[in-house]
Each structure stands twice: as C-alpha cells, then as structure tokens.
Structure 1
Amino acid sequence: MSRPLLLLHNIRLLLTCFSITANALLAGGIFTFPLLSPALAFHLKLTQPQLTTIALLGMMGQYPFAAFVGKIIDEHGPWACSLIASFLFSTGFALFAAEIAKTPDDIRGPSKSSFRTLAACFFMIGLGTVSSYFSALFAASRTFPRYLGAASGITMALFGLSPLFLSLLASRYFTDSSTGLSVTNFLIFLSLASGIIHLVGAFNLRLLKPEHEAESTSEITPTSDDTARLTDERQPLLPNKISQLDVRVMSVGESTSVVQLFKDSHFWFLAFIALIILGSCEMIISNIGTIVLSLHSESTSGVVEPLRLISISNTLSRLLSGPLADFIAPVASDMHDDGPQFPRRYRVSRVALLSGIPLLLVGTFVYMELSVRTSDDLWILSIGTGAAYGTTFTILPSIVSSIWGSRNFGRNFGVLTYAPFFGTPLFSYLYAFVSAHNNVGDGICTGVTCWSLTFWVSTGASLLSCVASTILWRRWKGLV
C-alpha cells in the first residue's frame, strides 16, 4: 500500500474510532434517570408507578425496533443508525426539558398530560439509545473482525461507562450545592451534545461498507495471503466426536429466517435467560434512585454514588469478559462436517460465563434482603447489578453469531433483545406496585418493605435462569 493510501486509511480508521467512542459515551442518557427521578417526584409530584412507567418506557424503547435497527445495520451500515439516533436524542431530550420547564413549582398533584409527554419523550430517547448502541457496536465489529470479543467488549464498556461519564458532567457543571441538579439545563445539554455527536458519526461511519458489500468485495478479490491464511485456519483442531452431538448449529454466514429461529428450542432457552437477567438488572438500574430514597429519604445526594458504582462495574465487566471469552472460547472460523473449526485452542464454553451470572444475582439479591438497611449498604447491589448486566450484553452477541450465523447477526441479536422488552416491565411493575402498596404516606415509599418481596421473587427467577443456562451449557459443549 502506498504512503498516501496508508495515510488515508489511518485517517479513516481514526475518524471511525472517534465516532464509535463518542457514540457509545453519549448513548446512555436514559440511564441517568435516577438523577432526574427525585426532582420529578418532589417538584412534579409524580407517583412511584408513574416514575417507573417513564423509566420503563425509556428502557423498553430500546427493544421494540431492535430487529428493525439490526436490519438497517445489515443493509445500509452503522452510519444510518447514527443519523437516526441524532434526531431521536436531540428531539427527545429537548421536549423532555421543555415539559419540565413549563410546569410550575407550586402544583399540588401530578399532571396527566405532563406524565404522558415525559413518557413519550423517554420512549423516543430509548429508541435513540438502541440506534446509537447498534451503530457503535457493529461499526467496531466490522472495523476489527479478527478481534470480535475485544472490539465488542471495549465498545460495550464505553457504553457502560456512559452513565458515569454523564453523571460526572451533571454533578460538575449542572449541580449547585444549595439547589441540586438543574434538570432542565442538563437535559438541554444532552439534547445538543448527543445530537451533534451522532450527526458527526453519520458522516464518519459512512466510511464502513454494509455487510453484504464487504462480503462480495472480499469474494471477488481474494489475495494469495488470504487464501493461505484461511487454508491454515480451517485445519481441524478438534476431534470428530463433536459432530455426534444432537445440536443443530448454523454454519458461519448461513442465512436463516425468523421462523426458523423461533422453531429452535435453544433460542427460547437463551431468550428466557436474557429475560430474567436483563429484566431484573434494568429494574434496579431504572429504580436505584427511589431504592436509595427508601433507605435515606431526607437526601437525594446519595443517588449519585450507587449509579456510578453500577456504571463502573458495568464497564469493567464488559472490558474483562470480552477478552476472557475470546481466550477461553474463540469464535469458530469455519464449519466442517466434523464440527466447528477454531483459530485457537478451545477451552471452555462461553455459556459457562453466562451460567455464572444468575448465581451472581442470587448472591446479590440475598445480600440485599438480609444485610441492606441503609443507603451506604447498597454498594454490593450496585456492583453485582452492573457486573451481571455488562457481562450478559458482552457474551450474548458472540453466542448468537456463533450458533445462528453471521449473515443475519444484526437481525437475530435484535430479535433476542425482545426478551428484556418483556422482562423489564415484568420486574419493574412488580417493584412499582409492591412499593406503592407499602407506601403509608405521600411521596416516596420508605423502609425495607418497599422492595423486599421484589427481591425475593427476583432471587427465585434467577435460580430458574441458572438452570436454563446449565442446560444450554451441556447441549452446546464444544460448540461455542
């Protein structure tokens, strides 16, 4: 490659990496809701079910169109989703801020029209989140295809770092020691910053070709080095006994329809696991603000620390679990009649990592029930939730790609994310109505009874997901 072409390539790579990083860091605006919820409760007089509904619609806004967003990625490339995210973020945050600004401080009860507007805006922001997340994730995986786990893990780590990054900006530039967080100004900042960054991303990520174009180009002009490398990588590294397993695994790049995906019982096991783990974690993330207030009702300053711990543990788990998964279970480079062929030694299934997550949640929830009595004790809940959430989202993409093929990877992963679309409201409304039932006064519910039943139910559900993941571990042994 000539020097000018090499320089151009490096500039393009730098711009792509910048937009991947910036999109991921600005994508987590919905996870700052715990910073907003005290103001919405005290000044807009919103009830716990209403606060849960707004947070829930933000979380759920990520999922209904996930398969559609994945299809856009497959057909047009990450740039299109970055452009969509720019519009959704700038519009959603701006309308949210405008609704809060026009509401007088002396209202005596919650306004139904304000509640509906805020809920609709947060749903729009949630839809922007999945567009931004997919644009960064799939741009990273296409830019560094040889290091899929590391590329996915680092991108997801940046996404997990987003709430911490945004909360630091909120506390440093938009918080006054006497009046607290300036919610309106912070939301205006989010509208402008996320809108501009994702608009820039729409230009930078356009440098990446859609998947089908990249495949056709590589098929037309293979080099002798590529041929030698592929021949070497396809040499059998595992014994033939793998092919005797009664498990249907799609070959790499093989096309499969959604109907075929739904007919696979293993998909439903994986969806159930995602429903329980992600649903319970997102319930905690969206309600950590009121959980803090239930234990320390006289101050809202304690909300920031648990949110930061969730973000940090979420980030570290994504950074560590991606490379770890690549090391113990490399992604298959090809499929032969005698089983999958791996570029490096295969040690332990990635599903083994997935099986440990429900056990982590069980320990976290039992600790919550038996030991947490003040807001200072919530650090175990924050760390456990963040670690479980981050590791799950890091491990799932490579499992989906390995089992059901890479050609419709974006669509298939989007379909799987419908699982938390049902799991998050299930756990969130359980929390909301248990809290409302045990609220003996006005405002936020206080006391352990506000969430005790919720966490016992979550413990039982996590045990069931552990059983399901163990079944998949046994059936996919030696395959993923």
Structure 2
Amino acid sequence: MGRNKGLVCWAFSQSCVALNALSSGGVFLFPLYVPWLKQHYSPTQSELSTIILAGMMGQYAFAVLWGAVIDSIGPHACSLAASALFLFSWSTFAYLAANSLGSPSVLAALFFIAGVGRVASYFSSIFASRSKKKSGLATSVPLALSGLSPLVLSYVAGSDVFKTPEGVFNVPKFVFWMGVACTVIHVIGAVGLKHVDDLANQEGEQARLLGLTDDEHLIEAQREAMKAGCMVMQKVEPDGAVMSLFRDFGFWGYVAIGIVITGTAETVIANMGTIVMEFPGHAESVAAAQVRFISIAGTLAKLCTGPLADWICPPVDEGPTLVCWCEPVRPDPKKGTSRMLIPCICLTILASVYAYTALYITNADQLWILSIGTGLAYGASWAILPSITSVIWGARNLGRNFGILSYAPLIGTPIFTYVYAWTSEQGRDWRMMFLISVGSVLAALVWCGMLWRRWSGLL
C-alpha cells in the first residue's frame, strides 16, 4: 500500500513538472502579437524590441533569487510564485490590449513580470526532477517540455475559439485565457512539487536517525577500504563561496560564451515576427510557422543533448566522493568526449545559419533554416549548462551558480536586440545584425576551445 501511494505521489509530482513546463512559454509567442500591436498601438521597431526584450530580461533579472529559493525552500515555492505573476501580468495585458489602453512602456512592464514568472516556473520544473546519476537526462526532459510550450500554445492560439468573426487572431482573448490557465496549473503544481521536498526531507531525517551524517559515511567508507589494503583518495567538492566563483577566470569565460549564444539566439527568437515582415508578401501564418520551427528544434535539442552527453561524455561526479584502488591496479581515468564539445557545436551552427541569413536568404519561405538552426543551438546550450556548472563549480550551490550564469542573457540579449533595432530603422540593412553576430560567434568559438583545453579531464 505504501509503495503504491508513493508511486501515485511520484506520478502526480512529475505530471506537475510537465504541466508547469508546457504552460509557461507565453512570452515566446510575441511574434504572433506583433501584427495586432502594430494595428492598435503603431509602435516603432525600438518600442516593439523593448516589449519583447522586457519579457526576455524578466527571465533573468531574478534568476539568482529563484535559485536561492530552490536551495532554501524548494521548487513548490517557485511554482506558487509563478502562478501569481502569470495571473497579474497576462490578465492585465489582456484588459489593456482589449481596450487599446496603456502604452508600449506599460506593455513592456507587464511582459517583464511575465518573464519573471516564466523563470520561476522554469526553475521549479528542472530542479524538481534532477537526478544525480543521470543529470543530463533528468535536466533534458523538463527542458524539452519547456521548449514545447510555445509550440503547444501556438496551436491553441490558432484555434477558431481565439479568432474574431473576420478570422483575425484575437490577442486579448487568448492572453486572458493563458493567464487563467497558467495560474490554475501552477497552483496545482505547488501542491504536487511539495511532495518532492517532503521526500528529500524524509531522506535527510532517516539519515539523521541512523546517526550518520554525510561526512561520517565518508569516514566509515574510508576505514573499510583501508582495512582491505586499498589506497583511498577523497574528491573534494570545489569551494562554494561566491567570491571564489568570481575569482575563477574560467567562470567569466563561460559567461562570455553564454552571452553570445543566448544573446544572438534570443534576438532572433524575439524578433522573428519583424524579420518576417522585412520580406514582401509576408503572412501571419509564416510568423506562426517560424515560432513552431524554433520550438520543435529547441525541444529536440533539449531532449537529445542531455542523454547524448551522458552517453559520450565521462560520468558526472557530484559532491565529495571516495576513489579507491588496490595496488598495483589503479582506477581507469575518465574516458569519453568533453562536454565542451556541445557548446562548440552550438556556436558552429549559429555562425553557419547567421552567415546564410545575411548572404543568401531572399524571401520569408527560406527563414526556416534560420529558425531551425537557432532553435537547435539555443536548446542544446541550455540543456548542457547545468551539467557543466555542476561539475566545474560543485553541486551543493548549483541553484545559485546556475542563477548567476543565467544573467548572461541579461547582457547579451539587450545588446544584440538593440543592434537589430538600429539596423532595421532609418533605411539601414537589417542583415548587418547577422554579420555582426557571425563575428561575435566566431570569437566565442575560439574562447570555447580555450576552456575545453583548460577543463580537460574534468568534463
């Protein structure tokens, strides 16, 4: 009976993870809102860029806060916070849009709040299902579901329920529905994810009642190994102090790579609606198709990257462990390919599709190459980030460290978004942004190779 109850609770909690991830991607549907916003608010390209940029920035501005909440309270608290943020942001946005009230600045503020809710939901999903033994797979599944969110929501948005009698997409009606649905799902998720925290607390309590702490377990295992005549070496987790992290030259190099990957990719994702409109004869269906291409490519990348890394790369050792061997046999060194291969592949893909866009794309029907390439690179980079972070800087403060690294787009996305806005106005050629992105990506690729060499044997 107890086992069946535990299985039901586990299934309920994992269902909550899936629903949280699938419902939280409303910010990425902005390309679908662009035609309606242009009709009712007549914004400039800079104002449009500011609205979506605010949504993107909201995802990262409080990343460290949500990481600390995960470490100290648990994923259920993030889910509950996300429900309140989604309710306020989307319902207010829907009311203002329905009545043509407010201004682009007010809409940008609401998108920022929705972005804050998005990252709270995102953290609740990926950290509720983390596994120490298969960190790549455990991270990839909720990441993949999160990547599917724009795809699922775009199909919902395309239903007849959200069309006016003239057949036009009714943005206010859809956004209001999305706000209510996200709120209900994340409130239920807070209940389901509380079970994850309760299980962790029970395991800690059982260990306490047995009278052995983690350090005592290590000492006992060391004694047993030495009695058997084996040599013992303890692997010590890296210093978890935040100042030690900031003094690490490799940390800032990794942040720089993240700035380029996420900054350029999110600029494409956020501005796909206006990129489509750069070509004559554009249609609303073309923008919706690009959103789906990006979502599908990103989802496949997130779903496959983690298991692929678990398979071809050395296993991830998290926390202090003991390495034992009996002379003259010594433990085999880690074998496999470094996880830094994946960021290198992501950068190569981005450089290729950006160059192709700048030089060869002549109509909107060819944009699928840009959409799929960007989605693949963006999804794969986020799928591998937690594993690399955990190995290099330790698992104990993973939530905090992951949150700090999540600030990379807070720098990169505004830079490249406003570069795009600048190149798109006053008769300039918008393709200049992609040429600038190619140069930035190639520089990051060189730096990625240097970090690969620096962390040789660790990843």
Give the TM-score taking structure 1 as reference length.
Answer: 0.86
Q: Aligned AA for 2:452?
A: W
Counterpart of 2:409? 420
CA distance in 1: counterparts of 2:44 and 2:2, whole angstroms: 60
Pick the aligned partner of 1:310 from 265, 290, 294.
294
2:449 aligned with 1:459: no
CA distance in 2: counterparts of 1:214 and 1:406, whole angstroms: 20
Q: Aligned AA for 2:151?
A: L
Question: Number of residue pairs matched?
Answer: 440
Conserved in 2, the CA contact under 8 Å of 1:74 and 1:211? no
Conserved in 2, the CA contact under 8 Å of 1:160 and 1:315? yes
1:200 Cα deviation after fit: 0.5
Pick the aligned partner of 2:158 from 155, 168, 171.
171
1:335 Cα deviation after fit: 5.2
- With over 3 angstroms needed to count, the CA separation of the structure-2 counterparts of 1:160 and 1:344, relative to structure 1, is farther
2:418 aligned with 1:406: no
2:197 aligned with 1:209: yes
CA distance in 2: counterparts of 1:171 and 1:70, whole angstroms: 35
- With over 3 angstroms needed to count, the CA separation of the structure-2 counterparts of 1:73 and 1:475, relative to structure 1, is same
CA distance in 2: counterparts of 1:219 and 1:269, whole angstroms: 39
Structure 1 range deviating more: 345-354 or 426-435: 345-354
2:368 aligned with 1:379: yes
- With over 3 angstroms needed to count, the CA separation of the structure-2 counterparts of 1:223 and 1:303, relative to structure 1, is farther
Q: How does 1:85-104 map to 2 (within 5 A)?
A: 85-103=82-100
1:220 Cα deviation after fit: 2.9
Conserved in 2, the CA contact under 8 Å of 1:251 and 1:405? no
- With over 3 angstroms needed to count, the CA separation of the structure-2 counterparts of 1:213 and 1:39, relative to structure 1, is same
Q: Aligned AA for 1:182?
A: N
Q: Aligned AA for 2:119?
A: V
2:73 aligned with 1:76: yes
Counterpart of 1:446? none
Q: Aligned AA for 1:181?
A: F
- Give unmatched runs, 5+ long, in structure 1: 105-112, 236-242, 244-249, 440-448
CA deviations 1:129-169 (Å, max 9, x no partner) are 0000000000011xx43322111101100000100000000
- With over 3 angstroms needed to count, the CA separation of the structure-2 counterparts of 1:218 and 1:366, relative to structure 1, is farther
Structure 1 range deviating more: 380-389 or 201-210: 201-210
Conserved in 1, the CA contact under 8 Å of 2:319 and 2:394? no
- Give unmatched runs, 5+ long, in structure 2: 226-232, 325-329
Q: Secondary structure at the match of 1:295?
A: coil
Counterpart of 1:125? 114
CA distance in 1: counterparts of 2:112 and 2:381, whole angstroms: 23
CA deviations 1:165-193 (Å, max 9, x no partner) are 00000012423584321001100111111
Q: How does 1:74-473 map to 2 (within 5 A)?
A: 74-103=71-100, 113-141=102-130, 144-172=131-159, 173-175=161-163, 178-209=166-197, 213=201, 216-217=204-205, 219-220=207-208, 251-252=236-237, 256-329=240-313, 330-333=315-318, 346-438=335-427, 449=429, 451-473=430-452
1:333 Cα deviation after fit: 4.7
Pick the aligned partner of 1:17 from 2, 14, 17.
14
Q: Secondary structure at the match of 2:150?
A: helix
CA distance in 2: counterparts of 1:359 and 1:177, whole angstroms: 46
CA distance in 2: counterparts of 1:78 and 1:335, whole angstroms: 24
CA deviations 1:264-294 (Å, max 9, x no partner) are 0010010000000001000000000010111
1:301 Cα deviation after fit: 2.3
Identical columns (%): 39
Conserved in 2, the CA contact under 8 Å of 1:72 and 1:81? yes
CA deviations 1:408-457 (Å, max 9, x no partner) are 10010000011111100000000011111327xxxxxxxxx2x2110000
CA distance in 2: counterparts of 1:271 and 1:389, whole angstroms: 15
CA distance in 1: counterparts of 2:50 and 2:198, whole angstroms: 37
1:217 Cα deviation after fit: 3.6
Q: Aligned AA for 2:172?
A: T
1:327 Cα deviation after fit: 1.0
Conserved in 2, the CA contact under 8 Å of 1:255 and 1:408? no
Conserved in 2, the CA contact under 8 Å of 1:331 and 1:342? no
Structure 1 range deviating more: 35-44 or 83-92: 35-44
Conserved in 2, the CA contact under 8 Å of 1:272 and 1:465? yes
